Structure 1
């Protein structure tokens, strides 16, 4: 019986072996040898971060064409190259990426209710969006920590996730786990291309900045003594920080929450401090650029908008060439802003930093004369940026303003900047109340003339920067308010000798919100002058757009203000592939506005070349976010705002073009940076105090 059973089992086994042998011949699947070769080159972590079941699964997916050679998030570039070599592919190195947290709330953001559910952000988010009063901020329950397979995230005592850049593999698991979008995975190009969104952690100052600079971040870096880091943060949005540190009217400071405690933080003073620190070092910090794309881009106009556009396109890997009609780059920041406000040697140094990235410049080259868009297309340029500025002075609409001795404000400042030494005589009348009028008046003072600035409203309505108005007063400019020009009176040689003007009175507010000036009948009077400078506005000179001077042949759509029409979100004109920004698009505006719009145009040009369509976020921030604009700031100690030092005083200012204002000292900058409340959307630092010795001492040690 036992023998029979054994023989039966042996026969069954022998039969099964025979069947399997036959099946192996019929059903044999030969494994691609590349799978084992690729698996041997992978690190063997089997972490699953790539989305496949272990390294063997990833290797099979690569061979099957379901995953790229760079699928492994743990491996380095050499591994990707080895895998690509096995597959007969070429690896193009991509920018390194990291997970980044965009929230500063944490325990600073109060709870609207007590949550006793599962300790998971996703679960909490399902209940009224979570317990935090901030609708966009971190919920603090650590879902991202648990989702990370590399232990690259931990929760800080402040209730915020902290990401270890050494351990982060940019797998994106944390992004998937966060229901608020607080964490993103991105690299340098993504930072440069990002537009402010209402879901971002935007302090009011950051919402107001036309350049979208991350103001709280760079101020925090200054506070920590990381001055180079602050420069790099600013340069993610603004390549002309030396210039803006001197001429920006600081719209960001009008929304600073600190003003509801004492005075706004000196945001622009701090920008100037770190900008001047880099300048005085004599060496530009290294600015990273993406891998070259080989795409040629034409930048027509080398003012702040064109320089900004070229800078960001270069950083995105493209090859921009600036075509500039003037002898040097800079546009109106070179030819319209006097030396005492912006030393041109400093501007040269700043512009050189942009050119050193690989930006080409062709000077003394006029659009419409030396080249056209069509001629550039034949040379291989793919996209075009039109930033020709607003160089044409508006008239006074007064009889006789075409006489000799009448010179427009921007015309006068440009002539002086070019060294042409316009004659000012003994008495100059400047008409206008903006920055150009103030700059012309203070320049004439330095040239030895007595200056009267005539403005049709009162001092309170002047649009010029208050510091510039005060500076003009200190230097001896006489102000003639509530007066408007009627006609220019000339001599037998058709040269101006007097300006006839009317006295005015203020009526009801106009569209600008300022009270409308009304002429007083019978109030005409004469004022003698050797030079009359109308500085009441500027507009673009669009003659370069017309073929043979015929306005009907202009390819662009223009407005009655002589500006070019473009899409307000993409900055693309009616001609596909041609973009614009700066004063030729907006009319005369702030330098920082031109810089910010230049970056946005560069973003659109990048996407236009790379993929054809230009993505616009649905949640793009274009207006101030109402719920962030509260005025009740509790538990904050009052601290004095820093005072901008002056380099020139008294008579020294009136007889030279030396720079008037200086930069804060390091001690002053550290103290001022500590006044920042580090605001988020609704959170801010309470109990804000300052210990001079500990803070300054720590920063000096760095």
Structure 2
């Protein structure tokens, strides 16, 4: 008995020694933070986060492989607790939500009858689905079955509707959708998303240079959700007040209703909700991602620079804008007259952008007041160049430097800056673009009797049609097929006339317009005491005249634009990106805004150490073929809302804003004209009217 006891005691001692040695040899350390992190999670072990239970999720957080917000059930309270343990930014959790861009559903026509297994996964295996639309929802609800939080359902129109209040961003619906319709994204990911060829996009949305989700914001207006409409526009365009006034709305040219009827007044609806916020007495909140500690310099405070700065700030970066002029705004401040865009409205809009924490330094000209080396010394991680196209092109006609001769942008900028410009009683404006028309209408308001000379016909004028019509109504005289050859002056070198040669139209040139051909011996002189040449602009790249060493690799084109990668807007100097007129040459304001966002996307990739690349299937013009309809059956003619405007006799004596905003009743009626188009689907008027009468 004693022997057995001693044997067991010895065996136990030996095991203890063996285990002690083994514990030291095979010791596995567990970070105590894992238990603390797990303790702050919901403890549901639901797997909705993508990890096999809360412990696995906690291990991933401590290893830096998962964010503080990994627990989808615990929500923000859990995220804050985890962040506190890990020493992370408590506000560093961006909410993740599921989104469905497809609004087709039952509107999409079927190409065959399906009687198989009632799941999207099964149906997809048969010719990619039964519907003619190649990218839309199949409607059998695999996403609904996959969601554990009752956050998604198939709505009355046959496509998934997400309940944002219940959605935890687990991604189950996205993984379950075989067509890739549903997407789970953070706010930052939505800001960075670009239109792609396999997206569910209406034609108007495809053609919009800023890629605004036009059908969505019009639907939100129709429902009275004006703040939601503003947020939808602002997700792509931070200058909606300005664009609502000056955009020539190329989207309306591709409005599907316009094929059979007048297009929807898309831009007027944009202005309606933009003005709604302006007059609401408050600014709608704009969300931002957590700070990244990355610094970006934006050279140029015009629409491209403001747009780039806006999106970079929302992505969490520290941004400083450098502007050569006394105030921000660029061409929309100094090139667009007060009667089109009141400066107090522009100031309000710009202030909303600066309120994101953006610093602005004005009267700072690149290459003169500061240079690239200065920015590098200040620790900027990237630079955006949006210097605009401020250099007026010359007439190349004898005498164009006489007293009384001006160039278009310089003249408009001086007026906008409050200078007292000595004008003539009978000025002649040379040119046919928007700048020329702006000069015409400005001088009319300053008391002049204005003539516009253009070397082609009215049909070839590149200016917006509505602006040409307005100039006609306000009393401008037009002389077409007139090419200036000489400015005539008196003995004191002052302008007294303009000699031009009559032209006739020949064969089309590269622009598609018929080329003007001189008529020999047709020289004619028009009396004038002021000449304004507005025949085009180029970027001012005088900073390249004596480039510093840091700029040695920056290349420019023969059009004085910055040479760059068209897909990413990155230059040959990897940390320099371009956008707006300095990249494309003179273009639309909305194009500059779109370029600013595209550059912000590439800059974000660069400063975050990611590969700088375009979206995999980046949408480029022309339209996606299947979405471009030649006929649109089921449309009932309905009048488009007319643009309210000041009467001619009231407006030509002041710079009061001419175009007015739609009233609410008109805006709601106009939003009802929208067909809620998706890629191939749209609401037929006949169907909607039948449904209403049946109800």
Partner SS state of residue 504, structure 1: strand
Hey, what does 2:559 align to over in structure 1?
A: 561
| Cα pair 1:292 1:318 within 8 Å, conserved | yes
Q: In structure 1, how many angstroms separate the alpha carbons of the residues matched to 2:293 and 2:61?
A: 29
Superposition pairs of residues 217-236 of structure 1, within 5 angstroms:
217-236=216-235
Hey, what does 1:288 align to over in structure 2?
A: 287
Superposition pairs of residues 529-568 of structure 1, within 5 angstroms:
529-547=528-546, 555-568=553-566
- CA shift at 1:294, angstroms? 2.1
> Against the structure 1 CA distance between its residues 59 and 579, is the aligned structure 2 distance closer, same or farther, given a 3 Å change threshold?
closer
Superposition pairs of residues 350-369 of structure 1, within 5 angstroms:
350-369=349-368
Hey, what does 1:699 align to over in structure 2?
A: none
Q: In structure 2, how many angstroms separate the alpha carbons of the residues matched to 1:674 and 1:23?
A: 83
Q: Deviations over 1:216-248 (max 9, x none)?
A: 110000000001111111111111111111110
Q: In structure 2, how many angstroms separate the alpha carbons of the residues matched to 1:553 and 1:133?
A: 52
> Against the structure 1 CA distance between its residues 58 and 280, is the aligned structure 2 distance closer, same or farther, given a 3 Å change threshold?
closer
Q: In structure 2, how many angstroms separate the alpha carbons of the residues matched to 1:91 and 1:339?
A: 45
Hey, what does 1:581 align to over in structure 2?
A: 579
- CA shift at 1:58, angstroms? 4.8
| Cα pair 1:201 1:680 within 8 Å, conserved | yes
Matched, 1:481 2:502: no
Matched, 1:687 2:685: yes
Instruction: Pick one of 559, 569, 572 that aligns with 2:570.
Output: 572
- CA shift at 1:150, angstroms? 2.4
Hey, what does 1:514 align to over in structure 2?
A: 513
Q: In structure 2, how many angstroms separate the alpha carbons of the residues matched to 1:419 and 1:164?
A: 52
> Against the structure 1 CA distance between its residues 688 and 217, is the aligned structure 2 distance closer, same or farther, given a 3 Å change threshold?
farther
> Against the structure 1 CA distance between its residues 24 and 553, is the aligned structure 2 distance closer, same or farther, given a 3 Å change threshold?
closer
> Which runs of 5 or more structure 2 residues have no equivalent in the other structure?
1-6
Matched, 1:101 2:100: yes
Superposition pairs of residues 240-319 of structure 1, within 5 angstroms:
240-319=239-318
> Against the structure 1 CA distance between its residues 363 and 54, is the aligned structure 2 distance closer, same or farther, given a 3 Å change threshold?
closer
Matched, 1:641 2:640: yes
Q: In structure 2, how many angstroms separate the alpha carbons of the residues matched to 1:178 and 1:586?
A: 39
Hey, what does 1:660 align to over in structure 2?
A: 658
- CA shift at 1:205, angstroms? 0.2
| Cα pair 1:77 1:93 within 8 Å, conserved | no
Segment of structure 1 superposing worse, 611-620 or 370-379: 611-620
Hey, what does 1:697 align to over in structure 2?
A: none
Q: In structure 2, how many angstroms separate the alpha carbons of the residues matched to 1:494 and 1:225?
A: 62
Hey, what does 1:463 align to over in structure 2?
A: 462
Q: In structure 2, how many angstroms separate the alpha carbons of the residues matched to 1:453 and 1:124?
A: 63
Q: Please, what is the CA RMSD of the aligned residues?
A: 2.7
> Against the structure 1 CA distance between its residues 37 and 309, is the aligned structure 2 distance closer, same or farther, given a 3 Å change threshold?
closer
| Cα pair 1:637 1:689 within 8 Å, conserved | no
Matched, 1:197 2:212: no
Matched, 1:439 2:438: yes
- CA shift at 1:167, angstroms? 2.1
- CA shift at 1:523, angstroms? 0.8
| Cα pair 2:152 2:160 within 8 Å, conserved | yes
Q: In structure 1, how many angstroms separate the alpha carbons of the residues matched to 2:551 and 2:82?
A: 57
Q: In structure 2, how many angstroms separate the alpha carbons of the residues matched to 1:523 and 1:555?
A: 49
Segment of structure 1 superposing worse, 162-171 or 256-265: 162-171
Superposition pairs of residues 140-159 of structure 1, within 5 angstroms:
140-159=139-158
> Against the structure 1 CA distance between its residues 564 and 39, is the aligned structure 2 distance closer, same or farther, given a 3 Å change threshold?
closer
Hey, what does 1:176 align to over in structure 2?
A: 175
Hey, what does 2:74 align to over in structure 1?
A: 75
Q: Deviations over 1:560-614 (max 9, x none)?
A: 1111111101111111201111111111100000000011111111110002421
| Cα pair 1:653 1:660 within 8 Å, conserved | yes
Q: In structure 1, how many angstroms separate the alpha carbons of the residues matched to 2:476 and 2:87?
A: 75
| Cα pair 1:198 1:619 within 8 Å, conserved | yes
Superposition pairs of residues 307-386 of structure 1, within 5 angstroms:
307-386=306-385
Segment of structure 1 superposing worse, 53-62 or 667-676: 53-62
> Against the structure 1 CA distance between its residues 89 and 507, is the aligned structure 2 distance closer, same or farther, given a 3 Å change threshold?
closer
- CA shift at 1:39, angstroms? 5.1
Hey, what does 1:491 align to over in structure 2?
A: 490
Partner SS state of residue 183, structure 2: strand
> Which runs of 5 or more structure 1 residues have no equivalent in the other structure?
1-14, 695-702
Q: In structure 2, how many angstroms separate the alpha carbons of the residues matched to 1:217 and 1:561?
A: 38
Segment of structure 1 superposing worse, 157-166 or 132-141: 157-166
Segment of structure 1 superposing worse, 160-169 or 338-347: 160-169
Hey, what does 2:3 align to over in structure 1?
A: none
Segment of structure 1 superposing worse, 413-422 or 39-48: 39-48
| Cα pair 2:313 2:356 within 8 Å, conserved | yes
Q: Deviations over 1:327-377 (max 9, x none)?
A: 111111111111111111111111111111111111111111110011111
| Cα pair 2:91 2:290 within 8 Å, conserved | no
> Against the structure 1 CA distance between its residues 349 and 285, is the aligned structure 2 distance closer, same or farther, given a 3 Å change threshold?
same
Segment of structure 1 superposing worse, 184-193 or 553-562: 553-562
Partner SS state of residue 685, structure 2: coil
| Cα pair 1:677 1:688 within 8 Å, conserved | no
Q: In structure 1, how many angstroms separate the alpha carbons of the residues matched to 2:51 and 2:653?
A: 75
Segment of structure 1 superposing worse, 552-561 or 313-322: 552-561
TM-score (norm 2): 0.92
- CA shift at 1:628, angstroms? 0.5
| Cα pair 1:675 1:688 within 8 Å, conserved | no
Q: In structure 2, how many angstroms separate the alpha carbons of the residues matched to 1:383 and 1:65?
A: 26
Matched, 1:613 2:585: no
> Against the structure 1 CA distance between its residues 342 and 88, is the aligned structure 2 distance closer, same or farther, given a 3 Å change threshold?
closer
Hey, what does 1:5 align to over in structure 2?
A: none
Q: Deviations over 1:160-219 (max 9, x none)?
A: 112222222211121111111101110110111011111211100000000001101100
Q: In structure 2, how many angstroms separate the alpha carbons of the residues matched to 1:80 and 1:445?
A: 62
Partner SS state of residue 278, structure 1: helix
- CA shift at 1:451, angstroms? 0.8
Q: In structure 2, how many angstroms separate the alpha carbons of the residues matched to 1:356 and 1:111?
A: 50
